[in-house]
Structure 1
Amino acid sequence: MSAPVSLQAPGPAEPSVAASYARRFADRYDTWFGRKGLTKDTVDLLARLAGSGTALELGVGTGRIALPLARRGVRVEGVDASPEMAARLAARSGGEHIPVTIGDFTRLPSDGRTVDVVFLAGGTFFELRTQEDQLRCFRHAAALIGDDGAFVLDAIVPEVLIGAEWSRGHVVPETGEDLVVLYRRFDSAAQRYHSHYAITPADGSGNVHIHVAFRYAGAGELDLMARAAGLELRERYGSWGGAPFRDGCPYHVSVYRPAR
């Protein structure tokens, strides 16, 4: 039997598997990080924006958003860094109709055509480690959506989460019988935060520590990146369900379109 997870955050010297967690745990990714409760609202918003057109998901993974979005009549394509995650998507019902490019978000596929929506969900944008890479992603997205499309992302509000008590350790919901405890460490000087997941699988296969590093930006900085890429903010919500974005919201969903 696995030892119980301690409610003490992993030490900074413990090994990081940020670059390999998708490869090593592709078969459990949806269980541990699937956020199933957000899926319908996410798909509803994206389907409204895409209509009957085409959407490109950056960080498509195993298809948590892509597959139900495709079932809504949207043509969906994806980019992901993990061949293992892409293989799991292709093996799922309907996955064979979603083409996936293996690569990173700073070098998006382009064959001269445009798409209606480029989007990231689950805080994926902040996995780009530098401001330059984040701005490059904005610029590539702007080129892909042409004159009428939308670039959509969700992101934490750092000034809210830095002081949040639950950032110092809370149990992640919707993970089945597995126990997943999330800790966050913030480095305000570097604009980085580190998510540590301490996981006890119910099958007794052994405790897992996953460490993922992010480079965060406030909403104002994201809006400036958008302007530098020729985009402007058109909609901002406090949830994928369209709740108003107000003081104290821990994250936002932002919709950018070509500047008028």
Structure 2
Amino acid sequence: MLPNFFDGDVAQGYDAGSPEMFAPEVLGPTVDVLAELADGQAALELAIGTGRVALPLSERGVHLHGIELSQAMVDQLRAKPGADRIDVAIGDMTTTRVEGRFGLVFLVFNTIGNVTTQDAQVAVFENAAAHLRPGGRFVVEVGVPHLRDRFRVFNHTDEHVGIDEHDAATQLSWSHHYSSTDGETYHRRSIPFRKVWPSELDLMARIAGLRPEHRWADWDRSPFTNASTKHVSVWRKIDA
């Protein structure tokens, strides 16, 4: 079972911590692409979380299922309008299975990095492939690893200081969060990630019986280049 870093206060403040991900210019293209790739078939979101993507995609008529490790995150989802249309299984996305076969399985917002070993990341691909119909698609949105600074401050306010720590040799990364209610006494929380290269993901997909179909720099389908900081990749299940 994967460790759960998204319970309690983390789940309660999750949406508020990333308001930019709900902006129409971010969420709109995400939902547009996923709805097109689903092609009228049911879809499964791995690490469905609080439903940022699943709820608007469901509103577009896509029959949504989800897998989520954190019950607290699903509780946040269930409090939102339209959540009753989505079936969610609580469990680890490396092994948890749900009934049915899907035209689309997807994993967004760097969440593949929450799986911190190569073997477990391969298991995510194998589990995704097991849920797909022949010809179905698996989509992953994730950042591109970088080999620059070992430490990078990504947020600095009186209430929160966020520092990313990277180890290029192991491809491991940690997001350190220092939170305070008085601006003086800070509580530390660290979340580990495993950075993964696009070529490594392609090999994981091949192991799982998937073949590359698209790779874009973002949900607007802009070309992926050596200057891209993230990618949206699509693999397709080989017809039996």
TM-score, normalised with respect to structure 1: 0.81
Structure 2 CA distance, aligned partners of 1:198 and 1:107?
A: 32
Structure 2 CA distance, aligned partners of 1:209 and 1:153?
A: 29
- Give the CA deviation at 1:74: 0.5
In structure 2, the partner of 1:100 is 88
Q: Is the 8 A contact 2:137 2:235 kept in 1?
A: yes
1:197-227, Cα deviation, whole Å (9 max, x unpaired): 33456x98x7553321011211111101111
In structure 2, the partner of 1:239 is 218
- Residue 170 of structure 1 aligns with an amino acid whose one-letter code is F
Give the secondary structure class of the aligned counterpart of 1:197.
strand
Give the secondary structure class of the aligned counterpart of 1:104.
coil
Q: Is the 8 A contact 1:32 1:180 kept in 2?
A: no
- Give the CA deviation at 1:21: 3.6
- Give the CA deviation at 1:24: 2.8
Q: Is the 8 A contact 2:135 2:238 kept in 1?
A: no
1:65-84, Cα deviation, whole Å (9 max, x unpaired): 11000001101111111111
Structure 1 CA distance, aligned partners of 2:40 and 2:228?
A: 31
- Residue 18 of structure 2 aligns with an amino acid whose one-letter code is F
Q: Say if 1:41 and 1:196 are closer, same or farther in 2 by CA, change over 3 A.
A: farther
Among 68, 80, 83, which residue is 1:80 paired with?
Answer: 68
- Residue 257 of structure 1 aligns with an amino acid whose one-letter code is R
1:13-53, Cα deviation, whole Å (9 max, x unpaired): xxxxx834433322211010352232222111111111322
Which stretch shows the higher mean deviation, 115-124 or 28-37? 28-37
Q: Does 1:123 align with 2:110?
A: yes
In structure 1, the partner of 2:155 is 171
- Give the CA deviation at 1:186: 1.0
- Residue 153 of structure 1 aligns with an amino acid whose one-letter code is V
In structure 2, the partner of 1:58 is 46
Number of aligned residues: 233
Q: Say if 1:237 and 1:84 are closer, same or farther in 2 by CA, change over 3 A.
A: same
Structure 1 CA distance, aligned partners of 2:164 and 2:49?
A: 23
Among 36, 40, 64, which residue is 2:22 paired with?
Answer: 36
Q: Say if 1:65 and 1:180 are closer, same or farther in 2 by CA, change over 3 A.
A: farther
Q: Say if 1:92 and 1:178 are closer, same or farther in 2 by CA, change over 3 A.
A: farther
Among 139, 153, 156, which residue is 1:152 paired with?
Answer: 139
- Residue 88 of structure 2 aligns with an amino acid whose one-letter code is V
Q: Is the 8 A contact 1:90 1:98 kept in 2?
A: no
1:129-177, Cα deviation, whole Å (9 max, x unpaired): 2111111111111121121211001111113xx3269x611339xxxx9
Identity among equivalent pairs (%):
36
Structure 1 CA distance, aligned partners of 2:162 and 2:31?
A: 25
Please list every run of at least 4 consecutive aligned residues from structure 1 whose deviation after the TM superposition is greater than 4 angstroms. Answer: 177-181
Q: Is the 8 A contact 1:227 1:259 kept in 2?
A: no
In structure 2, the partner of 1:184 is 164
Structure 2 CA distance, aligned partners of 1:157 and 1:60?
A: 22
Gaps of 5+ in 2: none
TM-score, normalised with respect to structure 2: 0.88
Structure 2 CA distance, aligned partners of 1:45 and 1:200?
A: 38
Q: Is the 8 A contact 2:125 2:205 kept in 1?
A: yes
Structure 2 CA distance, aligned partners of 1:215 and 1:181?
A: 21
Q: Does 1:258 align with 2:231?
A: no
In structure 1, the partner of 2:190 is 211
State the Cα RMSD in Å.
Answer: 2.4
